[in-house]
Structure 1
Amino acid sequence: MPTDASVKKTSRKGPSRSEESRSAILEATRAELAESGWRTFSVDAVAKRASASKQTIYRWWPSIGAMCVDAALALVPDSPDGGRDPQERIATLIVPLEAAARTGNGHAVLRGALMAAADDQHAGEAWRAWMSRDIRQPMRMVLAELAAKRVIRRDFDLDEVIEQLLGPLWHRICVIRGPVKEGYSVQQARYALRVYSTI
């Protein structure tokens, strides 16, 4: 027979307080990045916005930069199914970044996270791990498969192609300091297929 304590434990619905607090901190981090950027980022402002203590923030993240990267990456949705069309398969791996950059102040949040990744070791490791797992490795597999099927040539460096696909996006976010235009992913995929076509 269950005890009163077990009934209370199993009957609770919704996220735990720690999950709610973490979500509030990440949301406050995004707001602070959008308003102040990385260079003048304020942990005090985040704690105040999220109604959380700085001790909690420092306990949950190895650095403030890592928290900024986590907050930005939470904006990036999963890649949709790319189907079988070569252009669509390439584009779908870039679409999540385009979507994040085009959502509200997403471009400013991503810019702040990129700057944090450049300045902070923990942030840089988190950003590179995400890029490798979610974009670079899947893109390498798609490009290698297309080359094996002779849809595109094989006389090129896969990593260089990936840099060409993503470079304009980072330039737009970090240098132009504006949102990414609609259709960026499809345009870049179309361009890559045209440049590296076997025809």
Structure 2
Amino acid sequence: MADTRAPDSTRRSERSRRAIYEAALALVGETGYAKTTIEGIAARAGVGKQTIYRWWPSKGAVLLEAFLDLGDQAARAAAEDAVPEGETAYEIPDTGDLEADLKLVLRATVDEMNNPRYEVPYRALAAEGIVNAELGAEFTAKLLEPQLQLYVKRLRAAQDAGGVRQGIDLRTALELLTGPVAHRWLLRTLPLTHAYADAVVEYALYGLAPRR
């Protein structure tokens, strides 16, 4: 007997959405953000452009959601202890050794920033967010801020354990760690390496003055 059930629209929508994610990330990597268009994404994904406009207002919004999904995939892989080399779910461990924990996460961040799969869409979103205030705010709220709050959580735990002095502003403290890495990544004038990540942690934790 023939199956007369209607197609599952939810599953069909999810397939289309995932195809659009993959198309957006691929096109930005191949042609750059400026040359990527909604029409191009639609053609690559095998959907009508009205499907994209029904879900997103712009190509920047498509790319942001695709990039967030990429991060979710890394998080799921981490939960299964199967994170590929150079990828991270941005979890900061708490082994009781703050220096080691921060070096571990900053090294993983460096690997991700040097990985073209992440670097290209990340740069596109960072650049577009400067001129597109709405996208920039969404980029910060959905991507950057959750990551930064993980540093706050880890530094607060170290503070509670006596490893970080009381009274410091944890937001400023985390920026001493993440700011230099982001700055070097944006400028691209010097290599972004594990050795650099380690130095940033040491300078942030112990300062520049001679140690007694």
**TM-score category by the smaller chain?**
0.7 to 0.9
Question: How far, CA to CA, are the matches of 1:109 and 1:80 in structure 2?
Answer: 21
Alignment of 1:42-191 (within 5 A): 42-76=37-71, 77=74, 78-80=89-91, 82-84=93-95, 85-91=97-103, 94=106, 97-130=109-142, 131-133=144-146, 135-154=147-166, 156-176=168-188, 180-182=192-194, 187-191=199-203
Superposition TM-score, scaled by structure 2 size: 0.70
Judge which range, 167-176 or 110-119, deviates more: 167-176
Q: Tell whether the 8 Å contact from 1:117 to 1:123 is kept in structure 2 after alignment.
A: yes
Question: How far, CA to CA, are the matches of 1:70 and 1:46 in structure 2?
Answer: 14
Q: Tell whether the 8 Å contact from 1:43 to 1:54 is kept in structure 2 after alignment.
A: yes
Q: Tell whether the 8 Å contact from 2:37 to 2:59 is kept in structure 1 after alignment.
A: no
Q: Residue 28 in 1 paired to residue 41 in 2?
A: no
Question: How far, CA to CA, are the matches of 2:172 and 2:17 in structure 1?
Answer: 37
CA gap of 1:92–1:128, structure 2 versus 1, over 3 A, is farther
Q: Which has the higher contact order (CA 8 A, sep 6+)?
A: 1
Segments of 5+ residues of structure 1 without an aligned counterpart are 10-14
Displacement of 1:37 after TM fit?
3.0
Matched residue of 1:153: which SS? coil
Displacement of 1:139 after TM fit?
1.3
**Which runs of 4 or more aligned residues in structure 1 lie more than 6 Å from their structure 2 counterparts after TM superposition?**
none
RMSD: 3.4
Write the letter of the residue equivalent to 1:71: A
Write the letter of the residue equivalent to 1:120: N
Displacement of 1:105 after TM fit?
3.6
Judge which range, 44-53 or 187-196, deviates more: 187-196
Give aligned-pair identity as a percent: 26
Matched residue of 2:36: which SS? coil
Task: After superposition, give the CA deviation of every residue in 1:121-156 in whole Å (9 maximum; x if it has no partner).
Answer: 4422321112222x2222112212322333123454
Matched residue of 2:116: which SS? coil
Superposition TM-score, scaled by structure 1 size: 0.74
Aligned length: 189
